[in-house]
Amino acid sequence: MIKNIIGMLVGREMGRRQGGNGTKGAILGTIAMSGMRRMGPLGMALGGAYVAKKAYDRKRGRGI
């Protein structure tokens, strides 16, 4: 279940970066998830780190 959540969050961040809609983010998340799954635990860690960094940068940029 955590794999699905990380894949969904990665897809959302990638969709935001490209200015697309939710469908584009979901497709990108599915593709990214398949790559992360093949990498094993390292892929999950990298995906989680990517999402965490994006959230941190967004929070830092707002001045919160």
Side chain identity, residue 44: M
CA gap 29, 33 in Å, rounded = 6
pTM of the model: 0.61
Q: Are 30 and 60 in contact (CB under 8 A)?
A: no
Six token digits for residue 19: 């200015």
Six token digits for residue 21: 């809609």
Per-residue model confidence as pLDDT tens digits over 2-55 = 777 777 777 777 777 766 666 777 777 777 778 878 888 888 888 888 888 888
Per-residue model confidence as pLDDT tens digits over 44-64 = 888 888 888 888 988 888 655
What pLDDT score does 5 carry?
75
